[in-house]
Amino acid sequence: MFLEIVQLTVYGIVLGSVISLGAIGLSLLYGILRFAHFAHGDVMTVGAYLALAGVAGLGLPMWAAFGLAVAGGVALAILIDQALYRRLRRTAPVILLISSVGVALILRSLVQFIWGPDTQVYTQELQMPMRLLDIKLKSTQLQIVAGTVALVVVLHLFLTRTRMGKAMRAMADNPDLARVVGIDTERVVVWTWAIGAALAVAAGIFLGMDTRLQPTMGWHVLLPVFAATILGGIGKPYGAIVGGMVVGIASELSTMVFPPVYKPAVAFALMVAMLLVRPTGLFGAPR
């Protein structure tokens, strides 16, 4: 039984990595642009499929396809922002929400149109899990966790050591004061989209590596990603990591009691609990 818990926790960390990457981006976008980007899951989907195009279509090695997908995803996100969201920023915030739901659907339909509704995989080879002290772990899963750690470290350095990174943190912290201080908010916005999209693409690819690809993959993981964001506190990227891990591990552990299909429900329950007890999240200011 103990072994099962440890095994599930390991799976939870893998899932948590994917969710964290999505949640960090979402949290930054939410904190800086002040809107819940409902298309974030589908950006993950697009990222995963762009990598698929690289691997299956162009025959690239995974790391190259990864880079290609990130570039593509970032370009797409910035394009959507400049063409659409930017013009809606002055209207009521809920218009942006509705718009992002529309974008989610457009992205998903585009993916389904181009690649079809059936599930796909990056590679047909079966992976035999390694065994470390009686714990099963596939090498892709190890890559996912390692990749996530690397990305988080890079992000941390960016946020704490670079001028733009600090500007982003300042804007997430206090947008009015950031403006007063003279920060060019539009530039920060573009950078936020770039980083949010890059992380989402990575999350999507990792999700595809761990499970499989299908057009609704991102939408189905949106709820846990939102849950992680709320758990960690909006605009708190480090909180999002903690939130992601909590959601991931809790979801996996729940399979000891509930059928696996209900994992998103566990995420939802955690989110609801947090909203009831401390709506600003674990790391948000208490109200």
Partner 1 sequence: MDLFELFTFAVFFLTLVGIYGILALGLNVQWGMTGLFNIGIAGFFAIGAYTSAIMTTPASSGHVGGFGLPMPVGLVLGVLFSSFIALLVGLITLNLREDYLAIATIGIAEIIRLVLKNEEWLTNGVRGIAGIPRPFAGWFEDPTGVTNLLVVCLVIVMVYAALERGRQSPWGRVMRAIREREVAVMAAGKDIVRFRLESFVLGSAIMGLAGGLYAHFFGFVSPEAFDPMYTTFLIWVMLIAGGSGNNRGALLGALAIWTIWAGTEYLTNRFAPPEFLTRAATVRMLLVGLLLEVILLTRPAGLLPEAHFVARADDRRSTAPGTSDSGDGDD
Partner 2 sequence: MSLLEMTGIRGGYGAGDDILKGIDLRVEAGEIVVVVGPNGAGKSTAMKAVFGMVNVREGRMIFDGMDIMRCRSDRLARLGISYVPQENNVFASMTVHENLEMGGFIRRDDFAGQLDRVYDIFPPLKEKRGARAGALSGGQRQMVAMGRALMLEPKLLLLDEPTAGLSPAFTDLIFEKIVEVNSAGVSILMVEQNAKQALGIAHRGYVLALGANRHEDTGANLLANREVADMFLGG
User: Where does this chain bind partner 2 (CB under 8 A)?
Assistant: 163, 166-167, 169-170, 173-174, 176-184, 236, 285
| Angstrom distance (rounded) from CA 98 to CA 184 | 27
- Terminal-to-terminal C-alpha distance of the chain: 40
CB of 131 to partner 1, least distance (A): 32
Binding to partner 1, residues 197-226 (CB under 8 A): 219-220, 222-223, 226
Contact partner at residue 167 from partner 1, partner 2, none, CB < 5 to 8 Å by partner kind = partner 2
Q: Does 108 bind partner 1 (CB under 8 A)?
A: yes
CB of 14 to partner 1, least distance (A): 22
Binding to partner 1, residues 43-82 (CB under 8 A): none
Q: Does 91 bind partner 1 (CB under 8 A)?
A: yes
Size of the residue set binding partner 1 (CB under 8 A): 60
CB of 226 to partner 1, least distance (A): 5
283 neighbors 246 (Cβ within 8 angstroms):
no
Which neighbouring-strand residues pair with 130?
A: 137
Contact partner at residue 184 from partner 2, partner 1, none, CB < 5 to 8 Å by partner kind = partner 2
CB of 188 to partner 2, least distance (A): 11
CB of 246 to partner 1, least distance (A): 16
Structure tokens that stand for 192 in this block: 């936020």
CA distances 182 to 38, 158, 187, 189, 193, Å, are: 30, 20, 12, 14, 20
52 neighbors 208 (Cβ within 8 angstroms):
yes
| Angstrom distance (rounded) from CA 48 to CA 44 | 6
Q: Which is nearer to partner 2, 183 or 228 (CB)?
A: 183
Q: Does 94 bind partner 1 (CB under 8 A)?
A: yes
CB of 265 to partner 1, least distance (A): 5
Q: Does 234 bind partner 1 (CB under 8 A)?
A: yes
Q: Does 93 bind partner 1 (CB under 8 A)?
A: yes
Interface residue list for partner 1 (CB under 8 A): 31, 34-36, 38, 84, 87-95, 97-99, 101-103, 105-106, 108-110, 112-113, 116-117, 172-174, 176-177, 180, 219-220, 222-223, 226-227, 230, 234-235, 259, 261-262, 264-265, 268, 271-272, 275-276, 279-280, 284-285, 287
